[in-house]
């Protein structure tokens, strides 16, 4: 009878152990395990955020605490519903932290974009200011150059007037004109006399000093002889002066030789003195742009 009682108690104990084991297994459900996995993932993702501790420290700590509580409830075989609820609280706190981090990240990006925009605007204003400064400097340099050029032109004009005055040129309705008398040539001749060298050289020097000036060289005769003879003689005399200037370095394109024969007397041809005045070469000067008064 005693043996039978011991066996009964042993079987009863084994059955009780099995029942407790089954009860413990029943407290760990797939639903609670899934909830805990989601909570752990959410907390780990929040922990991986570089700004989590700085910007969402409270939410991170709350999520960690809630997850630890849920895991403790699981280990203590609390009901699956309680474990799921605690896991939900942990995941919710982690999501709150993620939202805080995202908001702060967006604010930081917006602040950086605004700062970049300000830098771009500042650089644009600096470039505009530099361009305006350079433009003003260029305008100042241009004005200075124009002033210097005007001053140089004025000095050059004064120098030209003085040189023309030294050559005894006079202002006429055809512009400044220098009259070279019959002393340049022998009577009826078209070859320059040796004594004309100094006068022609001074004229060449004037033209070299003022390269924009052109001259019209007009030969004139008195009325002695035929029209054809006087026309040809006046042309040869004008050409002789032009060639003399060319030989002294004056380009041919600045010289225009014209023979006018006896068509433009300045005195009567009925006296020797008058005829002498009519036998002449006139040098007409252009303006500084190379233009003559009568075209």
- CATH code assigned at 214: 3.30.1330.60
User: Which of 91, 111, 139 finishes a domain?
Assistant: 139
Q: Are residues 104 and 213 in the same domain?
A: no
Q: Looking at the predicted structure, is the pLDDT value of residue 23 above 90?
A: no
In-domain check, residue 76:
yes
> Cα angle vertex 205, ends 203, 207, to 5°?
70
Sequence-distant (≥ 6) Cβ neighbours of residue 104 within 8 angstroms: 51, 55, 56
Q: Are residues 134 and 183 in the same domain?
A: no
Please give the order of strands across the beta sheet that includes 280-285. 170-172, 175-180, 280-285, 215-220, 255-259
Q: Are residues 90 and 165 in the same domain?
A: no
Q: Are residues 39 and 89 in the same domain?
A: yes
Q: Which residues pair with 255 in a beta bridge?
A: 215
In the chain, which residue ranges form alpha helices assigned H by DSSP? 2-26, 30-48, 52-55, 57-75, 80-166, 197-209, 227-246, 272-278
Residue 29 CA to residue 84 CA, distance in Å, equals 10
Residue 219 CA to residue 187 CA, distance in Å, equals 14
Give me the residue label for tokens 């340049």. 184
In-domain check, residue 204:
yes
User: Which of 81, 106, 139 finishes a domain?
Assistant: 139
Per the CB < 8 A criterion, the answer to whether 192 and 239 are in contact is no
Count of the separate structural domains present in the chain: 2
**Residue range 140-197, pLDDT digits in tens:** 999 999 888 888 878 887 888 888 888 888 999 988 999 987 667 777 888 888 888 8
- Segment 247-264 shows an average pLDDT of 95
Q: Are residues 166 and 76 in the same domain?
A: no
In-domain check, residue 294:
no
- The four Cα atoms 63, 69, 70, 74 give a dihedral, to 10 degrees, of 160
**Residue range 195-207, pLDDT digits in tens:** 888 889 999 999 9
**Residue range 111-149, pLDDT digits in tens:** 999 999 999 999 999 999 999 999 999 999 999 998 888
Q: Are residues 135 and 168 in the same domain?
A: no
User: Which of 107, 139, 171 finishes a domain?
Assistant: 139
DSSP 231-262: HHHHHHHHHHHHHHHHTTT--GGGEEEEE-TT
Which H or E run includes 283? strand 280-285
Q: 205: domain range?
A: 157-285
In-domain check, residue 10:
no
Q: Are residues 276 and 161 in the same domain?
A: yes
Q: Is the pTM of this model over 0.75?
A: no
Mean pLDDT of the chain: 86
Q: Are residues 132 and 187 in the same domain?
A: no
CA dist 54 → 89, 138, 167, 245 (Å)? 22, 55, 97, 95
Please tell me what DSSP assigns to residue 185. Answer: B
**Residue range 76-95, pLDDT digits in tens:** 999 999 999 999 999 999 99
Q: Looking at the predicted structure, is the pLDDT value of residue 272 above 50?
A: yes
Sequence-distant (≥ 6) Cβ neighbours of residue 171 within 8 angstroms: 177
Q: Looking at the predicted structure, is the pLDDT value of residue 19 above 60?
A: no
Q: Are residues 220 and 112 in the same domain?
A: no
Q: Are residues 76 and 162 in the same domain?
A: no
């Amino acid at each position: 009878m005693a043996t039978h009682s011991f066996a009964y108690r042993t079987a009863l104990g084994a059955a009780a152990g099995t029942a407790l084991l089954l009860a413990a297994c029943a407290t760990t459900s797939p639903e609670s395990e899934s909830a805990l996995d989601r909570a752990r993932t959410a907390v780990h993702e929040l922990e991986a955020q570089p700004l989590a501790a700085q910007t969402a420290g409270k939410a991170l700590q709350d999520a960690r605490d809630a997850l630890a509580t849920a895991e403790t409830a699981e280990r203590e075989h609390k009901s699956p519903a309680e474990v799921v609820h605690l896991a939900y609280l942990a995941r919710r706190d982690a999501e709150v932290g993620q939202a805080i981090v995202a908001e702060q990240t967006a604010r930081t990006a917006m602040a950086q974009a605004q700062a970049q925009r300000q830098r771009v605007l500042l650089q644009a204003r600096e470039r505009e200011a530099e361009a305006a400064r350079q433009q003003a400097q260029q305008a100042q340099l241009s004005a200075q150059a124009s002033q210097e050029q005007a001053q140089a032109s004025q000095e050059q004009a004064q120098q030209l007037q003085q040189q023309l005055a030294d050559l005894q040129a006079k202002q006429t309705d055809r512009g400044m004109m220098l009259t070279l008398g019959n002393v340049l040539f022998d009577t009826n001749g078209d070859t320059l006399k040796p004594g004309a060298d100094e006068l022609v050289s001074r004229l060449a020097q004037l033209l070299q000093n003022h390269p924009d000036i052109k001259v019209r060289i007009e030969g004139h005769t008195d009325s002695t002889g035929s029209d054809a003879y006087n026309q040809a003689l006046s042309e040869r005399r004008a050409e002789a002066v032009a060639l003399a200037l060319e030989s002294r370095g004056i380009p041919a394109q600045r010289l225009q030789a014209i023979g006018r024969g006896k068509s433009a007397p300045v005195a009567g041809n009925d006296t020797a003195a008058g005829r002498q005045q009519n036998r002449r070469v006139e040098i007409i000067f252009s303006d500084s742009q190379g233009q003559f008064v009568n075209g």
